[in-house]
Structures are given as C-alpha cells and as structure tokens.
Amino acid sequence: MIRKIVVLLTFGCLWPGLGVSQQVQVPVTLQAPPTGTTSQPAGPSNVGLDDLVREALQKNPAVQSALHSVEAQRRRVPQAKTLPDPTVGVNWMGNIRPFSVQTGDPSSYRGVSAMQMLPYPGKLRLRGEIASKEADAASSDLDAVRRRITVGVKTAYFEYWFYDKALQTTLKDKGSRPSSRAADG
C-alpha cells in the first residue's frame, strides 16, 4: 500500500506553482497490507512528508537521469584539459615484405613516425573552463528536477490529506444527522 502511494505521489499530478519552502508536517494514516507471516500487528502506520519526499527523490527516474548526467559532465572536465592522444605510425614502400628495402631503389623506404598535436597556448584551459561550466549547468538542472519532484510530492500529499479530512468530516456529519426517513415514518 505504501509503495502504491509513493508511486502515486511520485508520478502523480506535478503541478507547478506551489512553493517548495512549505515545511508543514501532516501525518497520513495508512493501512498496512495484511500478511499471514508477519509478527507485527496490522495497524495503521504514519508516513511523514519528509519520508515521502526522500523516497521520491531516491527512486524517481528523472532525478536518476539528471544525477547521471551531472556525473558524466564532471568526468569530462579533466579530459577536456589534457592534450589529445599522440599518433604513432609505421610506413614502408617498395617490397611487399614489411621493413625490407630494395637495394638501389630510391622509391622504397621504411619509416616510423610519432606525432603529438599541441593546441595554441590557453586553449586547453579554456576547454576545461567550458566543460566545468557545462557541469555546473547540469548540476543546476538536477536541482530544478529535484525541486519539481518535491513540489509534485507535496502537492499530492496535501491533496490526499485534504480529501481524507473532507471524507472524515462528511462521514462524521452524515452519522450525526437524523435520517429523513425516520422523521417521515
């Protein structure tokens, strides 16, 4: 039952516009599912808003995706600051067998080469700064996703609380009124 409510709160109505800074604790009473092998009594359990928000932030796929994106962007920063990979080559021309040179033939040769690209001074530092700024932007996106999920969970939580209280009030009012048929008969 708790898992269903968490899924409902996590993927339920995500309405923007509610403030994230609300810190009201409203206990919600949930019935635990009956199981025959548990030794715990099957009574109501209180689930707090902080617990629901924490679980939604841990299990929401959008948060997980943004978290992986931030990690990937942060790992790109050292790569952007380093020199490109060096290139090594082996060349020969003339005879079909490698490294054998035909004697007296000026067009046959053999050679080994190594090359390292050196960018203009300051380019590596700028590439590192760009990668760092991209990682900061991904981190800001992660914060925005977390705030959006938190707002959605709090919205669903307070709607659930409101409708639960409305239902309790309706049932209480319905039980305290005299029946109209009893007055007629």
- Percentage of the chain surpassing pLDDT 70? 64
| Amino acid letter, 110 | R
Pick the range with the lowest mean pLDDT from 53-67, 98-112, 121-135, 136-150: 98-112
Q: With a cut of 90, say whether residue 68 has pLDDT above it.
A: yes
Q: With a cut of 80, say whether residue 53 has pLDDT above it.
A: yes
Q: What pLDDT was estimated at residue 175?
A: 83
Pick the range with the lowest mean pLDDT from 60-64, 135-139, 155-159, 175-179: 175-179
Q: What pLDDT was estimated at residue 111?
A: 81
Say if residues 4 and 55 touch (Cβ distance below 8 Å).
no
Q: With a cut of 70, say whether residue 44 has pLDDT above it.
A: no
The owner of tokens 């994106």 is 69
Q: Which residue has the higher pLDDT, 117 or 34?
A: 117
Q: What pLDDT was estimated at residue 140?
A: 96
Q: What pLDDT was estimated at residue 183?
A: 53
Tell me which residue of 143, 81, 85 sits closest to 114, measured CA to CA.
85
Which CA distances in Å does 135 have to 76, 83, 138, 139, 154? 8, 20, 5, 6, 29
Helix, strand, or coil (residue 95): coil
In tens, the pLDDT along 77-109 reads 999 999 999 999 988 777 666 556 666 666 677
Q: What pLDDT was estimated at residue 182?
A: 53
Residue 19 and residue 130: Cα distance in Å, rounded?
Answer: 33
Q: What pLDDT was estimated at residue 93?
A: 74
Average pLDDT, the chain: 77
